[in-house]
Structure 1
């Protein structure tokens, strides 16, 4: 990401500063693991979320990059001059993963644009330009601003090019205390945050601006209050309804009293407009509406029915999230897509008709619709997301139209035909044994409390993450010897599961795969360790001293020894083939571990936070080192990466401050983001000539790095794709065509 500042002064580049080294590493990891949770929380009221700029560029007025477009209509007024001191970030398809929801809002493959993220100088009248550096400004998202700058602003001019307007969502509501006027985009498809997020503004607190409990500005309905009647018709001529417009808050609780709302003709999109309107029972939507967007009716748990006009073409992510009283909804045959979690936890829905216009159904689209009894997938559907029907506990029938070329049904199982993946099942499902299913997909039977027994045929090789999560009535499972992988949380929460058989064919078991099951009781534990067959599943956190894994063990499951802080050394027998994700994370007293040559897989975070670990010999049977595998191993002074390894994962050795040198063998082709970040003691790196990519921040904060011994030529070095924030690597002395050890 690039963050530019338009301001008077010299040209300089300043790097973003973090509070501690650990915070940056943990933040990057957290964003990978918790993206969907942050997305839900941030969008519930206001929508899109952005993060701080990585670089800021200060420009002289003579270098002003703002381009004011010529009027494209006769008589249209020209845009006023933009305010100096504004901060912008460049958004591209390559960095948009740091901006959850941008692809959903702007569409896949969108063209590059800028977001205005703040202001560095005090100004009363702030004008946002429509273009910057020759590209459109399409979003306004301020956060973390100084109070004296915010309080000094009296007016905003936001051009029509802007489609997202978001205030300081991370700060207090008491912002813009002197703001009296906003020129909003004349864009009916914009998403503008309103409601309580504007409650500190002067115009919000001026009673003369309110009319029958509603606050309008520039043909936008921005907020409502207790004076709003129980039945309310939004004013004719309204362009849009802001996110959170009907949201009110009292003592940290949400409230509202409006029961029926009529949306006028002319409104084309809803983004969070009725979010948390907890009293809303009925809404009348106009024929002009084309998109029911993110969080449009988030947690409207009094809403009983909705008629969607046939002008609507898409239902966005979380659109009807937790509308628990919704009993019926008619989806017209104009709709082509149903977004992620669109109807999640709509407990009252007993049936749903998916029209044959729909091509895609998102992740968890109908998750937790516990009263839904049957599903019919039309032949138009070509994409169904993970856990689309998870937790539909009353489901007894799953049918796919015979003309569908991507999916089919058999035995009340929804199956992706080409990949042979069972993506949804129910309490009456019988998995076909004809070879048409080789994988049980993520969350396929998740929260199916009516499932009492299941036979997994010997064609199945993979049981995916959360495949049988919280199947509380499931009593026994026999896993055939065709299965090689059992995913994270696969059988977690199966409280009735007392009998489990895992064959030796299994080479990977994810974290928590059998946690909170009846099998996980004291009688099945041995010396503080739980085995299922020849697989080590878990260890008590109190285990201490030296520990030897039982001979004949095949796998060490994910998080098996997590946070065993008194564990000092581990001997692993040569029967073990894989060490699961986070298997030994935060074993802070662990000083040594023997990894045998039988191990081919070291999972992500396997030894993360093992702060006392001094040295590790990775056998030449290992072909990849997982993300954050040794992150935070501050006492690690040496490590040998064998020439069997082809990739080093994101953050694999981040914050290993004791490392002074590292040799990356010729076999390695890729080095992940933050792979050696904060290796502050690293002075030299020897690198093979087959590396083609070095990720963002791979050697960031390696302040002691002096020399890179590269086995290739200068021309080959210049062909390597080196990501951002690798200045310490690039500023080191690079010795080409190195032939030494």
Structure 2
């Protein structure tokens, strides 16, 4: 059975309104005790993250409430010293107990005074008695005592006295799965903290006598105080009076079932996970400071989550695909937020807390809009303090028809406004100095651009001679202007109605994924001066049946024409030196292939799945080397070209007549088998008699 250590501050789950307002309610409480004059001791976890702390005292004159602040703390040992601020507080006077720094013996009688479970047990001080069970605490922690004293949530920060009335510890925790097992921080650690901040305290003499318990309680109880605070995090608001564990994270779901989370989703280890009484609870063995990449990705039933105020880092894609997530509160402890944390969270209504915009729709970190809550919006005006739209910030906001960018915007990052299927038009402010790759890709109903970088026909954004975005609505054919020198990454991707494209004579580079998934594209005319076709450039252009690759092209990137199912004939020009991995993979209609004379290497699986291929013309005088993913062909080349299917063993393979012997020489080549058996390497099958000498022009 796994052990769970519960800290004893008592936090009440309610809807706290932040920033602090007049009707804000207490959502945390614990116990404290007088140290000196206006100083009070408690546990650090009792007041961690508090935006308001109050101390309630009681004496013969009645109860009083005073405001306090954190004066000193030892986070390692869970200690805090508070200072009462109110001028009306006259001080505690003489403290009737001393600190004992010597180690207590096992079996010594001890007792504590505190305010456990105040919502049900009231605000009067409560007594609990027991003994020292061990001189070490949880997992042999030498800073703690184990005690048998019955303690409850709310006892945190209370004093632990011995039978001579000496302060021997500060109550901090109990064991959730064991009876009468509690823990207290040894008083020597409190003494060290007080000395560090020069707070006068008295040490216990060695000759003190045992005291009558009832007399000790009467003497000490007026020095025990109730601490209440309002904490910065906003707990889940659909339940009340539920204790919150310091090392836990609470959430709700639409089906009231636990969500699936990877073990490495946090910096802390998950020790227990349950869903009961309408709340999911994840318990940890230590405070959660980092929510790691993809931690809650695709948790599609998640509706609300309480991010602990121990969290400092939220990595990329943490809530990606949480369609039902409605509200999120970012605690003040958070120092770093990654990209795309709320990507495709279509149900998100509000983002509150640190970095939230005044309308609770945006997460803005140092001027960068990193996330957006789109639910219920058709039009949105980005706040004026935003200078940059971060990666994936508006991605897949499929209800938005209009996004208005303020003049303060200077940067639109990669994929910032991608896949907004209902977006109709977009105006780029004149202060924008950078537009990232794929910033506005996949917006299938986008009809026009205006403002800075807009082309004459308002169909393109042209940034430094590069098309970075295209407005595809109702466009079936398009001619790229001759002034363009590059088709940018993702520029025409997912233009599913585009059937014909003529690329202007000025273009030298077709970028990564430039025409990816243009599923209706059947005709493309490339310029003669084109030199580079980058990876995935025409991936899944399934209707493309013919291409003429210009003679100046030197590079065909990975998957550049993969899944072009209708492509029949390919001529790779003589200037190409390397055909990258899977460049023509699964071109199932490809029948005739010509490989240029300068090709000296062909990537792994470059022609895998080309099941109709019957004829290959290879102009290379030296058999091209296969570039294996796990092998550097420059240092150890393998003289095999590419990948061809077993069922087409009769591929006719034409090679230069002067190089015929080199292609068929089994001592240096793996094209053929000495016994006329086919070679099986990456699905290449060739028989020696199917290699033909050919006179190329």
TM range (shorter): 0.3 to 0.5
By percentage of residues, which structure has more strand?
Answer: 2
Q: Which has the higher contact order (CA 8 A, sep 6+)?
A: 2
Which protein shows a greater Rg? 2
